[in-house]
Amino acid sequence: MNQWHQMTWEEVSLLVSSGIDSAILPVGATEQHGPHLGCGMDSEIAHQLAEKVAEQTQVALLPTLPYGCSIGHSKRWPGTIALQPKTLIDVVKDIGDWVHDSGFKRLFILNSHVSNFAPLRCALEILRAEHDGFMVALINSASVSERVKARHFEDAEDWHANEAETSLMMAVAPQLVREDKLQDSDDPDRTEDSVFSHPVNRTSLNGVTGSPSLATLERGTELFDWMVEDLSKVVKKGMAETAPLDYGYFDKTNL
């Protein structure tokens, strides 16, 4: 596997010249995940998923960013450590600049915390507008495929620390799971009819949305396998992708 963390600069250089010009950046979060899951759940899944995918695809694996934009989780529960949206934009913009300048042409941002999506998308917009031809993909871990998405949304539309996430942790990071809390941690989705985007303090009693009590190791193992398999496909596809058209960002059209 091509872990950026472990590679020397010569190895980074050789990787690019060998034809692997793709890197994957896992972006997680540190935030409360109910009474039964560790605060690092999002980072854990981003990290482990990216690692497996990097193994299967040979993309360079960047270090996981363990802090995300979790300000929507409010100050109600200790444990949440959040970046402001503009801070996260700047972080990923800076990272992208240097990935590009290290010779890479493709950056896969793997995001495991839904509310990171907007700032990450902003970073993507900025990166592709400054580095002509730099290809950036933004992929939510829970949406890498239809089957993965379906599993995540099974017990709640606005899911958080739910069955899917709990099962995943049982499978890949049991040290983050409090088995004795599972039966009492379910909290229903109160947002299904909501027009407004209420912060979590106004939607959940304990930080959970969904039914962690339904979680099983088997379901977690299966789901994680799907995620690895389906994201690997996406990444492999991306590694061979060229832009549909070859006009530069700054080239004026002719009338």
- Scan residues 141-200 and list those touching a second copy (CB under 8 A): 175-176, 178, 181, 190-191, 193-199
Q: How many whole angstroms separate alpha carbon 129 and alpha carbon 146?
A: 30
Residue numbers 115-134 binding a second copy by CB under 8 A? 115, 117-119, 121-122, 124-126, 128-129
The answer to whether residues 220 and 71 touch, using CB atoms and an 8 Å cutoff, is no
Q: How many whole angstroms separate alpha carbon 4 and alpha carbon 23?
A: 9
Question: Residue 23: beta bridge partners?
Answer: 60, 107
Smaller CB separation from a second copy, 72 or 154: 72
Smaller CB separation from a second copy, 33 or 52: 33
Among 21, 49, 53, 67, binds a second copy (CB under 8 A): 67
What letter does residue 76 receive in the DSSP assignment?
Answer: S
Q: How many whole angstroms separate alpha carbon 81 and alpha carbon 199?
A: 15
Q: How many whole angstroms separate alpha carbon 72 and alpha carbon 118?
A: 13
50 binds a second copy (CB under 8 A): no
Q: Residue 223 CB, nearest distance to a second copy (Å)?
A: 21
Which range of residues in 49-57, 98-106, 149-157, 218-226 is near a second copy by CB under 8 A?
98-106
Which range of residues in 49-57, 101-109, 149-157, 222-230 is near a second copy by CB under 8 A?
101-109
Among 24, 69, 156, 164, binds a second copy (CB under 8 A): 69
Smaller CB separation from a second copy, 1 or 222: 1
21: how many CB neighbours lie within 10 A of its CB? Answer: 18
180: how many CB neighbours lie within 10 A of its CB? Answer: 9
Residue 214 amino acid letter: L
Best CA proximity match to 60, nearest among 26, 18, 97, 22: 22
Which range of residues in 40-48, 50-58, 146-154, 215-223 is near a second copy by CB under 8 A?
40-48
Q: How many whole angstroms separate alpha carbon 36 and alpha carbon 177?
A: 6
Smaller CB separation from a second copy, 43 or 162: 43
98 binds a second copy (CB under 8 A): yes
Tokens of 134: 């730099």
Q: How many whole angstroms separate alpha carbon 28 and alpha carbon 134?
A: 23
Q: Residue 220 CB, nearest distance to a second copy (Å)?
A: 17
Tokens of 61: 């694996």
35 binds a second copy (CB under 8 A): yes
Q: Residue 112 CB, nearest distance to a second copy (Å)?
A: 13
Residue count at the site for a second copy (CB under 8 A)? Answer: 112
Residue numbers 234-253 binding a second copy by CB under 8 A? 234-235, 237-238, 241, 243-253
